[in-house]
Structure 1
Amino acid sequence: MALPRPQDAPPIPATPEQRAAHWSLYAPWLQDDPVSYWKEMRENQPIVRSQELGGYWILTRYEDIEWAARNPQLFSSAQVGIPHRTIFPEKQIPIQLDGDEHRSWRQTLAELFNPSMVNHFTPAIRQAAAEAADALVGRDSCDFIAEFATALPAETFLITFGIGREHLQTLLAHKTWLRREGIPNARTDEDIVDANRPLREFFADAIERLRASGIEGRRDVLSQLLRSRHDGRELTQDEMTNVAFVTMGASLDTTTASLGLQFLHLAEHPEVRRAVAAAPPDRIPVIVEELLRHEPVSSTGRILTQDVERHGMLLRRGDRVLLSWGMAGLDPRVFDHPDDVDFDRPSTRHLGFGVGPHRCLGMHLARRVITIAMQEWHARFPEYRVDPDAPLIRHYSPGRGLMALGLRLDAPPAGGPAVAGTDPRDPR
Structure 2
Amino acid sequence: MTSQLTTDTDTTPSEDAASATSLLRFATAGSVDDGKSTLVGRLLHDSKSVLADQLEAVEAASRRRGQDAPDLALLTDGLRAEREQGITIDVAYRYFATPRRRFILADTPGHVQYTRNMVTGASTAELAVVLVDARNGVVEQTRRHAAVAALLRVPHVVLAVNKMDLVDYAEDTFRRIADEFSGYAASLGVPEITAIPISALVGDNVVVPSTAMDWYTGPTLLEHLETVPVVGDPSTAPVRLPVQYVIRPQGAAGVPEELRDYRGYAGQLTSGVLRVGDTVRVLPSGATTTVAGIDLLGRSVDIAWAPQSVTVLLADELDISRGDLLATEATAPEPVKDVEATVCHLHERPLRAGDRVLLRHTTRTVRAIVKEIEHRLDIDTLERGPAPDGLGVNDIGRVRLRTAEPLALDDYATSRSTGSFLLVDPADGTTLTAGMAGEAFAGAAAERP
Q: TM-score, normalised by structure 2?
A: 0.25
Q: Which has the higher helix share?
A: 1
Q: TM-score, normalised by structure 1?
A: 0.26
Using CA pairs below 8 Å that are at least 6 residues apart, which structure has the higher relative contact order? 1
Q: Which has the higher strand share?
A: 2
